Structure 1
């Protein structure tokens, strides 16, 4: 007599029993992550990331210096002077202790590692909270942790996004437990998840996660209320959930509210002259129909392939350095789950989150983004709505898990004929794409993008072979998934066999995308600046004057100890006016306005210029004498070439204005646009004049200034400057660092107003005589937030310990 695979209930539970110990899930995801990052773990290599750059000398300072850096800081001379108190605070993320014992890029590798590990583990716990099997929950963890939606952020170097994505399952799990149990413990878990998201420190990803949490909670709360009709229970759930969010924001206060205030008021995104001022800016880097099609066939619109350095992306954005794909298996089973929206209450909350997130990600293609832009605070200074893709990837994983769980439980209401029909139609569609990719491309563009630019169309045609290959693979996976599902419905294979056959399909399908974004680099191949260009670095660092260095082509690496005028990477927290001034400098250089370029260099305190030999011709027009004739290069008076090594030229500019100097005349302009233009005016004498946007509060003589400025103290970290000044005339003391409203000044102990001078700098009015001048940076909001974070962190830890012990006691 034959024996059914499901005949023995004990046999059906063997796998579940083996996964029962608390340490099994962490061990499984630890092993999975270890295998994925073997090339990093067992070598000295690091993972290449564009945003993390190739400055492999970073993080080689002592452990004591790194620990000391944990103390809060206010200001930095970085990029003309930057309010660090208004920056995000990644050093307070729980993984920071790893950095104390390794270099910066090795630390980043560990952040990638733990983002993947926690994405899997937290998804497991989230699925368990939905009352899914342990085996199903582990499969769900693999689905999210291995998804290209998460792992392809490695090559762009965006580990902060990955960590924020990893925190999402923890927060969803805590919300579920709050609704199901109404226990305070889960309020503190939710708070921990929100705080971790803040210090990742990708605040935009956390913001999107909180929006998703809000939608999810509202749907679940309404569902629960309609079942119970208990107002008091609904109120308790709301209070516990709101308490968790508030607690998390309080713990992360120092990394949230000062950064939000700075972004809205002073950063490059602020004001009517900043970047975040238009719907067009906010919609930039959204997804388009082509990217949605790539959720089924990732090669459809494709992406930049890091391993081959080959661009196959032909979509509407400028480039594509990641993929939103999360696996055809997840899409297949998620579709099965969606078919049960009416009968399974777990489906609707995740489905709505995914649908709203996808509509939002499509930017101008749907009205959803417009609603958020106009009515949700902060959306008008953000961009890249496509970044929200993780909010439809993660729900899709959980939806797929619910469908798989039903198959494992062998529930009899699963309709095999519908599965055959759905799988068969899907396979046929994929095969049509595989056989006729050129026809599909033409049809697609006629329907969705009739005015596709010629260069994009050319790339799309070059991509047809990859599209055909991806479609063939997709049809193969769909056929296998359909067959496995039918066999399971008919009880031809046991639950554990179904899982063991499903897992490699899931992992192989996502690995073929992920492997292209895992690029390892040996940092020893890139010597530190003090080894590569020791003479250049030695000259700059031995100069005791406060000064700046400009690398106009961004092709020379200098350590963070060098005060650079500009950087060659995207810095969202640069002060808006300084960003505009340095862009104006590049425009002047590129347009050949050499006198104007040189004048602005002097005003910006640029004493050194470093550039690679192959780019030096582009810089020379600003440095050569205006009277030069013939082919021989004659540098301007005050400009000298002081070093040439390893193809790097270093020039010294002795005409750069000092960091602190006196001016005895002012040119008054009406607004900031006029101020920027006046900086390069031929009638401006920068050695004695400054540009003001208000009247000077004292009478200025207009003569050549005489006097002396002695620096008594300059603690840039704390934001304290003490100067002893002798001014022989009424003067303006110019401080060549960015004007910021949190700076205050006192002359001989009496407060005075700091004026905005030369568009970006500070000026303190001084009457003739000897004076003691003190400038102090005070960010009251940051100070309050630091105290809130400290107190809330203590409360969070105490609450977790207390309620965890109470929960264990109640179980006992």
Structure 2
């Protein structure tokens, strides 16, 4: 019994999280919303496969004609929680990786609040407000953000402790910051530095020591993660991210100010996860589709405002909440443009809506403080009861007015849109308004229950413990009811189902790549189907990147947050749909054998294999009969010439390619795999310089005769990163033992 009394919060967090994600526990249903299915699932699956095969997961041969795997960050190779992938069957591991983060999120926030001397009940309340907030549930589909942001409360706790003993807490601070970085979202890591700096300037008695403590914490954390950081910096320098820093790109997906209403009324403008309840066409230009919900919770917000505003910490966290909101507004406020111009590093961060993590985290902390204030004797006053009663009355009046004028509101909104919009969009509008009415009714009911509980408590007709439990359950019911639709999954059969065209390509035992028109690539950004699962299957059938990776098919391009700059520019400048009749020869030269398009193509050497028409989208599959092999010889004019000799690939592994060559004269051996630093070549065991061919691929000089050629990916950035990481770890261990 004493064990339960002492540890019940942890058990409660585990129970609530497991119940919330119950349908994902057996692996028959797999998380699949947005990037989870087309990006994270194939990426992590490949990482695990390479690790079990005895390889460092450094290279991904299946996209962009070969692309770094470790360096992208999103693979989370060295992130500690990734150990789950090696302990369970992959489908289970993919689910439990996400689920574990919500348990950790609750635990870390609870620890922070307990550090702030809050009682158990308020700490549990704040932890649940954070864990089941709209923001945190929404980033389940962007799990690098999730796996970085959950560490913020723990980082803040350790940093706060270290203000008094910086030497002692430097190693754990560095370690936690390193883990946050390895979670895969540099934005969180970067903004956390500014949060901690502000915290130090406000709360540290010795501000110089505090800033030095913060600086060293980040310095050592960068050293710890150098094994991941150096390859990432190398990739960033060679990617299209370096040219995508214009204001238009950086400010894309700003948080429209009108959506602040969704802090209290979730899905006021529609729920993207529910069919027929959301339409981008109805929202105009003020749209962000990165965050499904910004909901904070009614009880959470009420308790946050009940916090003691005279407390220095309360002022700080309200300031943090406001700062996060202003930055999330992005292009809708001139302040962010100034920050973009003058704050180093901000121009590299896309999607300002991300900054709402500051607001959500701060409001959760404030709610816990307010909750504790309500429990204390001095806060049981009639003024609060009147204020809460007024809130209920206002909510009731707004709901009543909205209900009585629902048809008039619908008619008014309909008149604001062109009448040429298809009728289904107006049906969506009607669904959204009906949903909004229900939301208002439920909000009024929740506020009324809260008011009644507080009245009973203030009049001492409800014990403190029962009031606290009732409030926690009320807040949890509110958050869970509004967040249940956010995690979206599909049956495991959707992942395993193999489209007919995939089967056809897999029967071809040659090495080849596939590609598709730009129009098809644009269409594949959306799902078309009667159900979500049918939409996923259709996207897979239409070769949406990176679905084919699951079946180990090689894509000429691919999908990633950063792309190789030379190939991306070549694709945009040379292979656009209107230029294909003149430039499709490059597809043959670069080993593209299968091709898909939304319109009939009449290209020399292309044979139509099959045609389908589904959900308004025609699709044509072609075989390129003039395709060149992946490796061949070039003549003096740098043109393919089969007469010079033959090149046979005898091994094509993740990070190694072996060839047997026979050539009549000294020539260049061309391999249509991406040119990238770290690749090394040997000819008969002797190192040979790799030549950059066509600005995109690899070539080596081969003398006449029979030869064994090998390409191996052995990046210096990885080796040096490993050395720096080990040295940093040793240094932190020395500091730890000297400061005990």
Shorter-normalised TM range = 0.7 to 0.9
Q: Deviations over 1:384-435 (max 9, x none)?
A: 11012111111101111111112222235x6642562365157415632552
Change (3 A) 1:121 1:28: same
Match of 1:399 in 2: 366
1:725, CA displacement in angstroms? 6.3
Aligned residues: 698
Partner of 2:670, secondary structure, is strand
Partner of 2:514, secondary structure, is strand
1:374, CA displacement in angstroms? 2.2
Q: Is the 2:632–2:646 Cα contact (8 Å) retained in structure 1?
A: yes
Q: Deviations over 1:587-620 (max 9, x none)?
A: 31xx4x55335323213311234x6xxx7xx364
Q: Is the 1:120–1:145 Cα contact (8 Å) retained in structure 2?
A: yes
Q: Is the 1:433–1:440 Cα contact (8 Å) retained in structure 2?
A: no
Change (3 A) 1:533 1:248: same
Cα distance in 1 for partners of 2:49, 2:394 equals: 63
Q: Is the 1:420–1:482 Cα contact (8 Å) retained in structure 2?
A: no
1:37, CA displacement in angstroms? 1.5
1:687, CA displacement in angstroms? 4.7
Q: Does 1:780 align with 2:725?
A: no
Q: Deviations over 1:185-221 (max 9, x none)?
A: 5433323322222222233333333433333333222
User: 5 Å matches for 1:18-33?
Assistant: 21=6, 23-33=7-17
User: 5 Å matches for 1:646-795?
Assistant: 651-664=622-635, 687-688=639-640, 706-710=643-647, 717-718=654-655, 724=661, 726=663, 728=665, 732-743=668-679, 754-757=691-694, 759-763=695-699, 779-793=715-729
Matching residue within 413, 427, 440 for 1:471? 440
Cα distance in 1 for partners of 2:607, 2:316 equals: 66
Match of 2:344 in 1: 377
Mean CA deviation greater in 776-785 or 597-606: 776-785
Matching residue within 81, 89, 96 for 2:66? 81
Q: Does 1:44 align with 2:28?
A: yes
Partner of 1:78, secondary structure, is coil
Q: Is the 1:267–1:572 Cα contact (8 Å) retained in structure 2?
A: no
Change (3 A) 1:61 1:476: closer
Q: Deviations over 1:148-171 (max 9, x none)?
A: 2211333xx222222222211111
Partner of 1:131, secondary structure, is coil
Change (3 A) 1:534 1:604: closer
1:321, CA displacement in angstroms? 5.5
Match of 2:200 in 1: 217
Cα distance in 2 for partners of 1:257, 1:57 equals: 24
Matching residue within 548, 552, 576 for 1:587? 576
- For normalisation by structure 1, the TM-score amounts to 0.75
Cα distance in 1 for partners of 2:297, 2:376 equals: 23
Change (3 A) 1:477 1:782: same
1:137, CA displacement in angstroms? 0.8
Change (3 A) 1:740 1:98: closer
Change (3 A) 1:142 1:57: closer
Cα distance in 1 for partners of 2:599, 2:628 equals: 20
Cα distance in 2 for partners of 1:90, 1:348 equals: 36
Mean CA deviation greater in 184-193 or 50-59: 50-59
Q: Does 1:203 align with 2:186?
A: yes
Cα distance in 2 for partners of 1:492, 1:650 equals: 73
Cα distance in 2 for partners of 1:66, 1:202 equals: 22
Q: Is the 1:407–1:489 Cα contact (8 Å) retained in structure 2?
A: no
Change (3 A) 1:320 1:787: closer
Q: Does 1:524 align with 2:496?
A: no
Q: Does 1:577 align with 2:566?
A: yes
Cα distance in 1 for partners of 2:418, 2:383 equals: 44
Partner of 2:215, secondary structure, is helix
Q: Does 1:266 align with 2:238?
A: yes
Match of 1:99 in 2: 85
Q: Is the 2:385–2:451 Cα contact (8 Å) retained in structure 1?
A: yes
1:289, CA displacement in angstroms? 1.1
Cα distance in 1 for partners of 2:3, 2:655 equals: 56
Match of 1:548 in 2: 513
Change (3 A) 1:286 1:443: farther
- For normalisation by structure 2, the TM-score amounts to 0.82
Change (3 A) 1:126 1:61: closer
Mean CA deviation greater in 141-150 or 773-782: 773-782
Q: Does 1:417 align with 2:387?
A: no
Match of 2:552 in 1: 561
Partner of 1:571, secondary structure, is coil
RMSD: 4.2
Mean CA deviation greater in 65-74 or 41-50: 65-74
Match of 2:128 in 1: 142
Match of 1:332 in 2: 302
Structure 1, unpaired ranges of 5+: 1-14, 226-230, 626-635, 667-685, 689-703, 807-812
Change (3 A) 1:534 1:403: closer
Q: Is the 1:268–1:575 Cα contact (8 Å) retained in structure 2?
A: yes
Change (3 A) 1:659 1:377: farther
Q: Does 1:431 align with 2:397?
A: yes
Q: Is the 1:659–1:736 Cα contact (8 Å) retained in structure 2?
A: yes
Partner of 1:153, secondary structure, is helix
1:474, CA displacement in angstroms? 2.2
Match of 1:8 in 2: none
Change (3 A) 1:434 1:122: farther
Q: Is the 2:607–2:624 Cα contact (8 Å) retained in structure 1?
A: yes
Q: Is the 2:51–2:57 Cα contact (8 Å) retained in structure 1?
A: no
Higher relative contact order at CA 8 Å, sep ≥6: structure 1 or structure 2? Answer: 2
Structure 2, unpaired ranges of 5+: 521-539
Q: Is the 2:632–2:669 Cα contact (8 Å) retained in structure 1?
A: yes
Partner of 2:462, secondary structure, is coil
Q: Deviations over 1:653-695 (max 9, x none)?
A: 33113323333465xxxxxxxxxxxxxxxxxxx955xxxxxxx
